[in-house]
Chain A
Amino acid sequence: MHKTLTLLLLALAAGGAAAAPADPLQAYVAQARQADPGFAPAASRGEAFFRLQRAAASGRIACTDCHTDDPRQPGRTRARKPIAPLAPVANAERLADAAKTEKWLGRNCLDVVGRACTAAEKADIVAWLISIR
């Protein structure tokens, strides 16, 4: 009876952890490894991805248009609302909520990249933002 309960609790804990890990980097790395077991996130790739100027209907578009060149600085939306810094070193709330991170990367990749980002790309971006001091 005691053993069964322990197993049940362990299963619940594992299930909960797999459904929504608190750390978005861990979540994206785990997801990326399903396609590529050898995947390791690279901050340098994340930075290049963030700074890349992409062709868009309205000319060129990049993450930096709204977030500025420096993720430690606040940005601005098209409607001129301030955006809190992306780098956790400047904004403790950033990347603290995996669901929120996924919501914004989900939306913004469609707008800026023109498609959903892969888990590997998201892992790289998050790894870069965390690495900023």
Chain B
Amino acid sequence: MRNHLPKIITLIVACGVSGWLFAGDHGEQDEGREGGGLPAVDHKAWRAECGACHTAFHPGLLPERSWRKLMDGLDHHFGENAGLDAATRKSITDFLAANAADRLDARRARKVAASIPSGETPLRITATAWFERKHDELSPGVWKKPSIGSRANCGACHPGADKGSFDEHAVRIPR
């Protein structure tokens, strides 16, 4: 019996800690639902075309001017040709513009937009001060893991990335 005492104490402490952690998690998730995140959006061509090569990045992660500039340069899209026919390009551009960081009424969108100086038109979400601030605790080596491989691979750590959900408590950094 004496031999089991440390194990029992560990078990009791572990239960207490996990209960506390669970309670904390629950609270944060509720907060997220109340407007911390980005609203769920969908557009067939956006999901099919943008999502063919990378996470279908939520429009609320860049301002309208960035999306317009990006969609004007698809023939040279970060070193790759991502050209679209005119009708598809316009349809996706309209969707991105209508739900852009500076157009959406959501707290996260406002924070993204506010982190970008008005004279700048970043083409990469990872170039915004908001993104940098949110990821500043990660060591540079994390991005080089084969299971992650690219800063564009949001879904590697954020299971809800394709739905625009980046809840901090759902983050799981793969080994």
CB distance A79 to B153 under 8 Å? yes
A2 within 8 A of B: no
CB distance B148 to A110 under 8 Å? no
CB distance B80 to A78 under 8 Å? yes
Q: Which residues of B contact A81 (CB under 8 A)?
A: 51-55, 153
Other A-B pairs beyond A78-B80, A80-B156, 11, CB < 8 Å:
A77-B53, A78-B53, A78-B150, A79-B55, A80-B54, A80-B148, A106-B81, A107-B80, A107-B83, A108-B81, A111-B80
A80 contacts which of B52, B81, B152 (Cβ < 8 Å)? B152
The answer to whether residues A107 and B82 also contact, given A78-B150, A80-B150 and a CB cut-off of 8 A, is yes
Which of chain B's residues 31-79 have a Cβ closer than 8 Å to chain A? 51-55, 79
CB distance A79 to B152 under 8 Å? yes
Q: Which residues of A contact B150 (CB under 8 A)?
A: 78-80
**Interface residues on chain A, size class:** 10 to 19
Q: Once the chains are docked, how many angstroms separate the CA of A102 from the CA of B83?
A: 12
Residues of B bordering A, CB below 8 Å: 51-55, 79-83, 148-150, 152-153, 156
Who on chain A is nearest to B48 by CB? A100
Q: Which residues of A contact B53 (CB under 8 A)?
A: 77-79, 81
Residues of A bordering B, CB below 8 Å: 77-81, 106-108, 110-111
Nearest-neighbour CB distance to chain A for B97, whole angstroms, equals 23
CB distance A106 to B152 under 8 Å? no
Q: List 12 A-B contacts (CB under 8 A).
A: A77-B52, A78-B53, A79-B54, A79-B150, A80-B148, A80-B149, A80-B153, A81-B52, A106-B81, A107-B81, A107-B82, A110-B81
Q: Which residues of B contact A77 (CB under 8 A)?
A: 52-54
Q: Which residues of B contact A108 (CB under 8 A)?
A: 81
Q: Once the chains are docked, how many angstroms separate the CA of A108 from the CA of B61?
A: 27
What are the 3 closest A-B residue pairs judged by CB atoms, nearest first?
A79-B54, A79-B152, A80-B153
Q: Once the chains are docked, how many angstroms separate the CA of A27 from the CA of B152?
A: 36
Q: Once the chains are docked, how many angstroms separate the CA of A77 from the CA of B148?
A: 12
Nearest-neighbour CB distance to chain B for A72, whole angstroms, equals 20
Nearest-neighbour CB distance to chain B for A4, whole angstroms, equals 35
Q: Which residues of B contact A107 (CB under 8 A)?
A: 80-83
